[in-house]
Amino acid sequence: MLLFVGFRHPGEIIAPAFFKEVLYVDYGFLSLVPPVLAIALAVLTKNIIVSLFVAVFVSSVILADWNPFLGLTRMIHDYMFNAVAEDINMQALFMMVVIGGFVALLTKSGGASAFTSAVTRRIDTRAKCETGIWLGGLAIWFTDNGNSLIVGPIFEALAEKLRVSREKFSYILDCTTSPICALIPIIGWGVYTMSLIQPELDKAGITTSTDLSVFMAAIPLNFYAVLTLFMAGLMAVTQWDYGPMLRAQNRAMKAGETIRAGGTPMRAEAQADDLPAGVTPKIYTMVVPLVVLLTVMFSYLTYKGLWHTKVAGSEIRTGVAAGFMVGTIVLIVICVLEKIFSFNRCLSIISGGWANMMFMCVVLVLSWSLSGVSSAMGTAGYLLRVTEGWLNPSILPLLLFLIGAIMSFATGTSWGTMAVLFPIGLPMAISLNVSLPLTSAAIISGGLYGDHCSPISDTTILASIGAASDHIDHFETQMPYGTTCAAISGVLFLVAGWLPSAIMLVLGAVALTATVYVLHKASVRKIGQIRVPGGEAGKNL
């Protein structure tokens, strides 16, 4: 009979509590079933929940001596139930729900759109308009899915007047969705990512680092996210467009055709701030709840000694949850006093936000379960044994970045990609003594790149909707820009494998600027550039 084991460190054997006697079992290549099956199904089915569920179930059947019924019951009892029962995991699920409710009401209340509207003043050139779109996207840092639907409609008329192509419009919107959210620890993105990091630290018995410390240290190493934000601003300010994007910009400037003739604009069925008649959005509707949220959170963490001692992860999560809860209450009061929504309508919107987070909560539980079966089958240990002859620890970040990019491009989900790769990549990094922040950043960056360029990604689709752009045109013009940024990021991850330093980000920004300039000049020589309405480029467009 097969018994299952797991690894905290190479050579160390652990087992679930219900085994009184433990025997070493080497599953060999079967230990690759959890990650390989999850990745393969994610690519084939485009459904991350089905992929994770099947991978966990099949792995549990193997662990149960190929007994399907026993495998099913053990999957539920020993992995899913245990995953949810873990204090840190339950805290993460609670925070996801609280954050979802706050973001839903904040988006619907109109405060975010009023805040973004403020940056449209004194904008009289295309470069200024694109820069305003970029700044507006950065301001809406608390939601990736809602970002494009908030910023897009506000700038639509102005972008049309100043002849910003819909392709460039949607590109900037897309750049300021997930890439910025992936850098913020106190919103759903950060909470989700940290909830994938902490279980691996716990399994490895690491107490010197926490999920928050790893996440924060990974921010300057998250090359694709930071460079994408930088590149979007660079392209807006300098107008150094190239390739298909330059053709689109020339078309818009020459004849005012912001969308290609024959193109089909994507339209949102409802605006993100669908307010009652007569209600004018106010900036303070967003600013006050956010200020209260941050004040409550940091006041609690300061009380717990944030600035002079190590604060427990549970206390950090308590502070974050408390901040969002109080922020939500304040937002409800504002909505009722300003007659934006009734109290019952506020509760309805909040509960809708909770429901929207259920998908990610399910993904989290399945990801934690995948981590459990991978540990039980010794996946990390087997990978170390079969790769010890050729896998240089320094290339692990680059490898994870590339795998993540392929997965997320094929599936259209960065969160699903991270759910699969974190339980595999972090144990390998721990065993190979590779920087955990760098490894985490590589997984996040890979997921972001694929998701950013994937035509089936929700944020890509929403960017097309927000800019009223033809979706395929958005995809085709954004791909070269995203790939340019990814190529620089890949080199940085390779170099950082030997020298994991934040200085790499500065070098990357310089290299990206130079690369963009060269590509721009090459495109201008080939097709020309029109800088004034009705002008000529002197080339066939």
Q: What value does the mean pLDDT take over residues 282-294?
A: 87
Band the pLDDT of 1: cuts 50, 70, 90.
very low
Q: Please report the pLDDT score of residue 7 as a whole number.
A: 36
Of 256, 257, 298, 234, the residue nearest 508 (C-alpha) = 234
User: Around 299, how many Cα atoms within 13 Å sit in the side-chain half-sphere?
Assistant: 9
496-528 per-position pLDDT tens digit: 988 767 788 999 999 999 999 999 999 999 999
Q: Please report the pLDDT score of residue 541 as a whole number.
A: 42
Amino acid at residue number 154:
I
47-85 per-position pLDDT tens digit: 778 888 999 999 999 999 999 999 999 999 999 998 888
Q: Which of helix, strand or coil describes residue 261?
A: coil
> What is the rounded CA–CA span in Å between residue 23 and residue 18?
13
> What is the rounded CA–CA span in Å between residue 194 and residue 268?
32
> What is the rounded CA–CA span in Å between residue 212 and residue 184?
11
> What is the rounded CA–CA span in Å between residue 129 and residue 156?
10
Amino acid at residue number 335:
C
Q: Please report the pLDDT score of residue 63 as a whole number.
A: 93
pTM of the model: 0.76
Exposure class string for 465-474: b at 16+ Cβ within 10 A, else e: bbbbbbbebb
Given a cut of 60, whether residue 93 has pLDDT beyond it is yes
Contact between residue 524 and residue 246 where contact means Cβ atoms under 8 Å apart: yes
Q: Please report the pLDDT score of residue 345 as a whole number.
A: 93
Q: What value does the mean pLDDT take over residues 282-305?
A: 87
